[in-house]
Amino acid sequence: MATQSNGRIVVIPVDSSDHAARAFNWYIDNIHSSQHRIHIIHVGEPIMPSTGSSLKSFNTEIWEAMLQEESRKAEELISRYTEKIKVLNIEAETYHEFSNNAGHAIVKYSEKHDASMIVMGSRGLGAIRRTFLGSVSDYVLHHANLPVLVIPKKNNAKAT
């Protein structure tokens, strides 16, 4: 596995979902080591303007305001994870970008930073929905050339 002077890099993609928070917490509780350097990354989907039937109806001011709001939300999300990391006294970096393909952006980031592992949550899509919609975790599993740990959705079913 790749190492740097600051230790092994573990990439943890996050969004505002419980799945991402559960993956982060699972990593911290079960495998975090002082030899690891965490990279918390958020890949937001860019807002594309809907112009309807005419470009004349396209309002750039509204679109720019929507982009600014999405950027604010992304910064707020990264800030929440930054606070968690500070409380835990963990060495980490954060990163945010907008991309039409979050899976590709995660794989590209991980390769660029010579990561040792990716730890991420799963939305828990059923087989049919995953077939039609795809899944970020599925994409990362099939395209990353490093270990990928996918923390599944929490199963509330009780064994009988």
Domains of the chain: 8-46+61-151 (3.40.50.620)
44-98, pLDDT tens digit by residue? Answer: 887 776 655 455 556 788 878 888 898 899 999 999 999 999 999 998 999 999 9
Q: What are phi and psi of 93, to 5 degrees?
A: -125, 155
For the chain, the 3-state helix, strand and coil shares in percent, each to the nearest 5, are: 45, 20, 35
Q: What value, to the nearest 5°, has the Cα angle with vertex 102 and ends 33 and 25?
A: 30
pLDDT at res. 132? 42
Using CA atoms, how far apart are residues 32 and 18, in angstroms rounded to an integer?
Answer: 20
* Cα torsion 79, 85, 86, 92: sign: negative
| Strand 117-121 to 8-13 pairing | parallel
Using CA atoms, how far apart are residues 115 and 10, in angstroms rounded to an integer?
Answer: 6
Question: In a 3-state reduction of DSSP, which class is residue 33?
Answer: coil
Q: What is the mean pLDDT of residues 4-20?
A: 84
Residues 113/144, Cβ–Cβ less than 8 Å:
no
Using CA atoms, how far apart are residues 138 and 123, in angstroms rounded to an integer?
Answer: 10
Using CA atoms, how far apart are residues 104 and 83, in angstroms rounded to an integer?
Answer: 27
Predicted confidence (pLDDT) at residue 133 exceeds the cutoff of 80: no
Q: Is pTM, for the whole model, over 0.95?
A: no
